Amino acid sequence: MTLLVTGGCGFIGSAVVRQAVAQGIRVVNLDKLTYAADPANLADLEGSPLYAFERADIADAEAAAAVFDRHAPVAVLHLAAESHVDRSIDGPLAFVDANVRGTAVLLEAAVRFRERLPAPERDGFRFHHVSTDEVFGALGAEGRFDEASPYAPNSPYAASKAASDLMVRAWGRTYGLNTVVTWCSNNYGPRQHPEKFVPTVVLSALEGRPIPLYGRGENVRDWLYVEDHAEALLTALDRAAPGETYAFGGEAEVANIDLARRLCAVLDRLRPRLSGAYADLIEFVHDRPGHDLRYAIDPSRARRELGWSPRTPLDQGLERTVRWWLDHPERLAAARERGLVGARLGLKRA
């Protein structure tokens, strides 16, 4: 079995690649290597007969087609995307190009490759598209998103992912492509890009800089440990029926201010400051435009039909994450050298 993973050098993608190879699956990683990609995430797989890397843009039709022809995958796990909300506010068209046009080009390459397969292989070929709960907009104080939630994206990023979801659905219905779409809540864990919330808190604290929280830190997110999500994706790839959709959540809702304090408490224990507590560094900053108040996912269908549940309690996952950063100072140094630490984005059009 050969699995084509797009965006495999990214945070979630690399977790999927590592788990798939550990299961004995041959993986081809198609990655453009944008600023958010980090080949170091997969350094341990270099030289493995189960791993191949293809540097290419999913929006390049000729390059995408060539990858299919060279490797003949039996399934695609599509994770390649621009994913940072703040960057989408500053430059929305890059998200349209990567997430909407890129997905359409990849779908076309998949359909054309599938059409040339003999019947048994053609019927089994699968395109699994990985999306986000942000396509559903914001929740109030009650309720959770599930597979029947209506689309109501509120950021350019969320809108671009919603559009790509609908393209996958359309290609499935129109061309008979075996598709699966899954949504997830906020991922966290080791190796995450420094611009994301959890690394921002940890790295700001370690450097003694103010820890920035948007607004009053009241926005609530449901946190899913990245290795649990990778397991969910590979389970769905194997067990989900064609055309199905699943929502994967961590069942770990917490307000941003409370999450920041929990991370600071871990740091206080593992690497105490010379004076004061890390939480003293928390600083409220101007809110993100259109900032959704709350996200949460109900994963009960995935539990019932796929036998998947999140394994990692939030506090355990947070400690693993903090320990990873403490054990890998070179990754922080590399991110700082590339100008990826400490910059505020998403205010250009505020």
Angle at 243 between CA 242 and CA 248, to 5 degrees: 100
Tokens representing residue 193 in the block: 């890009």
Of 38, 57, 86, 134, catalytic: 134
Of 133, 146, 165, 222, catalytic: 133
- Among this protein's residues, is 330 annotated catalytic? no
- Among this protein's residues, is 214 annotated catalytic? no
- Residue 323's CB is within 10 A of a number of other CB atoms, namely 14
Tokens representing residue 338 in the block: 């590339």
Query: What secondary structure does DSSP assign to 256-267, as a single string?
Result: HHHHHHHHHHHH
Secondary structure letter of residue 342 according to DSSP: S
Find all residues with CB under 8 Å of 116, minimum gap 6, and list them.
none
Secondary structure letter of residue 208 according to DSSP: T
Q: What count of residues does the chain have? A: 350
In this structure, is the dihedral angle defined by the CA atoms of residues 141, 286, 213 and 250, taken in order, positive or negative?
positive
- Among this protein's residues, is 231 annotated catalytic? no
Of 51, 157, 225, 246, catalytic: 157
Angle at 303 between CA 301 and CA 308, to 5 degrees: 130
Active site residues: 133-134, 157
